[in-house]
Amino acid sequence: MNSDISNTSARCDHCPGKTPFRPDPDCVQRARELYFEPPLDEGIREIVITLIGNGVETFESCEGGPGHGFTEPTVKFEGATSEGLRALSVALENGLPVFRLRRAWSVVDGLIHGPWWEMTFLLPPRPGPVITEPEG
């Protein structure tokens, strides 16, 4: 990374915003050292660390796929109306393969619960059998 770019992303101690999109490397290192119970799925770990290192308040994640709670890699996070767009900007700036961003609610015991944000990501290609057409 160009050192000139990283120097322009210093936080202002007087501003309430959570930007910049390129965090201090110490913030990312602290995110890597966080203890998660249960542990993060390996397939979503780097995405979650990137979001947390940039100030996104995640509360649930899953790498998705067979045997998981979600069909696709998903991260849920807290925040008001603008937080979804900020988190999307963070994800795109850091090269994360975002597929969808949505605001979600659930109904628990007949009462609405939420809202929260959900960001989903493109599934990486998984190795599988190679099928070739017979020559003929």
Residue 12 lies in a domain: no
pLDDT at 89: 96
* pTM tops 0.95, yes or no: no
Residue 136 lies in a domain: no
Structural domain for 95, as ranges: 18-121
The answer to whether residues 21 and 94 touch, using CB atoms and an 8 Å cutoff, is: yes
Residue 134 lies in a domain: no
Residue 9 lies in a domain: no
Structure confidence by residue, pLDDT tens digits, 84-124: 999 999 999 999 999 999 999 999 999 999 999 999 999 66
Residue labelled with tokens 């910049």 = 20
Residue 79 lies in a domain: yes
Residue 5 lies in a domain: no
Structure confidence by residue, pLDDT tens digits, 48-91: 999 999 999 999 999 998 899 999 999 999 999 999 999 999 99
Q: Under 8 Å CB-to-CB from 119, ≥6 apart: which residues? A: 74, 75, 77, 84, 87, 88, 91, 98, 100, 101
- Of residues 7 and 81, more confidence is placed in 81
Q: SS3 for 31?
A: helix
Residue 132 lies in a domain: no
Split at pLDDT 50, 70, 90, the class of 38 is: confident
Tell me how many domains the chain contains: 1
The answer to whether residues 84 and 100 touch, using CB atoms and an 8 Å cutoff, is: no
